[in-house]
Amino acid sequence: MNTEPISADLLPDIRSLTGEQLEAYVHSQGLPLFRAAQIRHWLDGGARNFDQMTNLPLSLREQLKKSFRVFGVNIEKKLVSCVDDTVKYLYILPDNETVESVLMHYRHGWSQCLSTQVGCKMGCVFCATGLGGFVRNLTSSEMLAQIEAAQQDAGIRVSSVVLMGMGEPLENFENVLHFVTELAAPGGIQIGMRHISLSTCGLVDRMYQLMEHRLQLTLSVSLHAPNDELRSRLMPINRRWPLSELMKACDDYFAATGRRISYEYAMIDGVNDTPACASQLAGLLKHKNCHVNLIPVNRVAESGLNRSSVRRLRDFQEELSRQGINVTVRRTLGADIQASCGQLRRGSE
């Protein structure tokens, strides 16, 4: 867990401490252990600062202010779709950075797309977040707070989460692991691992680290190209971890966890949507127990890339199906509110 200050003027996040760490802190202040339980109670109840913790002695509240911050998120901007129930939030963090999150309504309930970092280092050319560069990791409680804020604002219960907002979750490994464990823990928000999807651009070393935990979450891998030449152009990470190593890691991940991998493929007009790409992709995924999600790419002005035509999309899907690959086209939700992460934040700059 990352309890280090995340920038010079930001103290560690008290909500990210484990029970033992909080007790150790209280003990180090020469105070009885029940103070830790009181603090936890306030934090679980949604306290946003130490002054609200009225049953703590004033001296302890002052000491806490010098040692920690209560991390949370506030809604800076909110967009509600006119075409469906999708809601997009721009949240503001204690250091005035902003991240996005999207709430989507499906037949089975509400699903929320969460951010894991402010910005991203990976530089994928089609991605608004990647274009803005990297600022910092989110703490695990900043991830939890995105759900709490949306639930409270929309008056709903979130039943599944996808880590497909801003940032690369496996780059923020410790905090994301802490977050997904907390989510599933009794007494918390209680979203089970099978209702969590984690999307990665393909950090192979971290995928091996993740599989050691044998989590029952769904791993989504952003593929977007069926060969190294094209993938390296679209996603710089491919130069570090080429397709052969990525596909091997996916096979090993499936073998270790028994969880089917989901591949994301953003359909970009004239770039990765040709019949040749479809058969190459089918070859790459043949005989794998997996699922492919085709996503019409969201246009980001700076990238100059456009989404594939409906016809190209259908032909591509049919070719994969014909070759025995499980494939669906992702329904576009919130098309009128730029519901692809990174777009609202960039638009507000």
Nearest CA-CA partner of 266 in 304, 234, 239, 289: 234
- Least Å distance, CB 79 to ligand SAH, is 17
Catalytic sites, residue numbers:
100, 341
CA-to-CA distance for 208 and 259, rounded, in angstroms?
A: 14
Strand ordering across the sheet containing 196-200: 74-80, 87-92, 98-106, 109-113, 158-163, 196-200, 218-222, 261-267, 290-296, 327-329
Q: What is the number of residues in the chain?
A: 349
**Residue 88 burial (10 A CB sphere; 0-12, 13-18, 19+):** buried
- In a 13 Å sphere around the CA of 279, the CA atoms on its Cβ side amount to 2
Binding-residue pattern over the window 201 to 240 for ligand SAH, x denoting contact by CB under 6 A = x--------------------x------------------
Which of 13, 23, 100, 168: binder of ligand SAH (CB under 6 A)?
168
Residue 167 within binding range of ligand SF4, rule CB under 6 A: yes
13 touches, from ligand SF4, ligand SAH, none (C-beta below 5 to 8 Å by class):
none
- Toward ligand SAH, which CB reaches closer, 23 or 168? 168
Residue 295 within binding range of ligand SAH, rule CB under 6 A: yes
Binding part of the chain for ligand SF4, among 29-37, 115-123, 282-290, 292-300 by CB under 6 A, reads 115-123
Residue 220 within binding range of ligand SF4, rule CB under 6 A: no
Residue 122 within binding range of ligand SF4, rule CB under 6 A: yes
Nearest CA-CA partner of 303 in 120, 130, 134: 130
210 touches, from ligand SAH, ligand SF4, none (C-beta below 5 to 8 Å by class):
none
Map residue 305 onto helix, strand or coil.
coil
Residue 294 within binding range of ligand SAH, rule CB under 6 A: no
Strands (E), the chain: 74-80, 87-92, 98-106, 109-113, 117-119, 134-137, 158-163, 196-200, 218-222, 261-267, 290-296, 327-329
For residue 80, give both structure tokens: 């509600």
Read off the DSSP letter of residue 158: E
Residue 339 within binding range of ligand SAH, rule CB under 6 A: no
Which of 70, 138, 277, 300: binder of ligand SAH (CB under 6 A)?
300
Q: Please, which residues have CB within 8 angstroms of residue 71's CB and are 6 or more apart in sequence?
A: 13, 14, 15, 16, 93, 94, 139, 141, 142, 145
Residue 127 within binding range of ligand SF4, rule CB under 6 A: yes
Residue 169 within binding range of ligand SF4, rule CB under 6 A: no
Which of 13, 23, 100, 168: binder of ligand SF4 (CB under 6 A)?
168
Residue 268 within binding range of ligand SF4, rule CB under 6 A: no
Please report, as ranges, the residues that interact with ligand SF4 according to CB under 6 A. Answer: 120, 122-124, 127, 129-130, 167-168, 201, 222
Please report, as ranges, the residues that interact with ligand SAH according to CB under 6 A. Answer: 126-127, 164, 168, 199-201, 222, 264, 266, 295, 297-298, 300, 340
